Structures are given as C-alpha cells and as structure tokens.
Amino acid sequence: MSKLTHLDDKGEARMVDVTDKAVTEREARAEATIRMAPATLKMIIDGEHPKGDVLAVARIAGIMAAKKTHDLIPLCHALNLTSVKVELSPGEDGASVHILTRCKLSGQTGVEMEALTAASVAALTLYDMCKAVDRGMEIGSVRLLEKKGGRSGHWVAGTTPE
C-alpha cells in the first residue's frame, strides 16, 4: 500500500508539493444517486416543481462546486479546470436521479476531488430544492468512476490498481 501523501514524515497533515510533477492531461469521472418518492421525480420531470427547473439549478451548483473544491476540502490545490460537466438523469427505477460528473484540466495534480465534489453538491442541491415535498430523500453511491492522467495512470472503478 502506498503511503498517505497528505502526511509528512512526522505524520502531520501537509499540502502535497506538486512543483516537480509534469503537467499532463487529467480527467476524472464520478457519480452520485439521490433516491426519492416516485411522485417527487414525476414533479421534477414534468417541470411542475414550484421552485422551477431543479435539475438545471443542481447542474449549475455541481459546476460551481467543482470550481470551489479547494475552498471546501482542506489541502486541495486550487485548479484551473478546463471542463466541468454535470449530467442528471432520471433513474430507471422511477424513484431516483443519477448524477454523472466529469472534470478535466492540464495540470500537475488530479481532479478526482473536483468530480466527487460536483456530484455531491448536485445531489445536495436536489435535496435542498425538493425537501419541502419529500424529506425522505436519500443521497448515496457517491464514488469515483474513473481517473486518467498523471503518474498513477488510468484507473477505472472495479479494476485493480496499476
């Protein structure tokens, strides 16, 4: 197992020094799911939610969150993201919304945290906008799906580390 990069030799928290790392194309994809009552999903899909297009608001919130990850997660680097995509789609079960995010850049460090933050905040935004009609919603399955670039190469969920 690799050592934790955010700890120094004394075991104290530190920001990773990426000065000597090569600038490479980097990309990460993440997902989240928010489960809800079928009536809540129908209201969202039919555009009948009193607060308007909640999917559009959640998409924008996810994009903004990716751009602000360094303000939210201690020790994350401020990154110059070149692309952030947030896709929200109704779940096949008729009672959920699936959130898929992708973040890209050319840089010295990865964008996994940005993709995960985008998915999480998009889900939280859906919860916030719909809680008046459905307090029983559940956010889950927040996970990294794929990362590309950098020293550790390409990784896909469900595969063994390189």
Residue by residue, DSSP assigns 128-160 as: HHHTTT-TT-EEEEEEEEEEE-STT--EETTS-
Q: Domain limits of the chain?
A: 33-147
Q: What pLDDT, on the 0 to 100 scale, is given for residue 1?
A: 47
pLDDT tens column, 73-87:
988 889 999 999 999
Its pTM stands at: 0.89
Catalytic residue IDs? 128
In the DSSP assignment, the letter for residue 3 is: P
Q: Any bridge partners for residue 30, and if so which?
A: 101, 144
33-147 has CATH 3.30.70.640 classification: yes
Of residues 107 and 11, more confidently modeled? 107
Known binding residues for substrate are 75-77, 113-114
Share of the chain above pLDDT 90, in %: 70
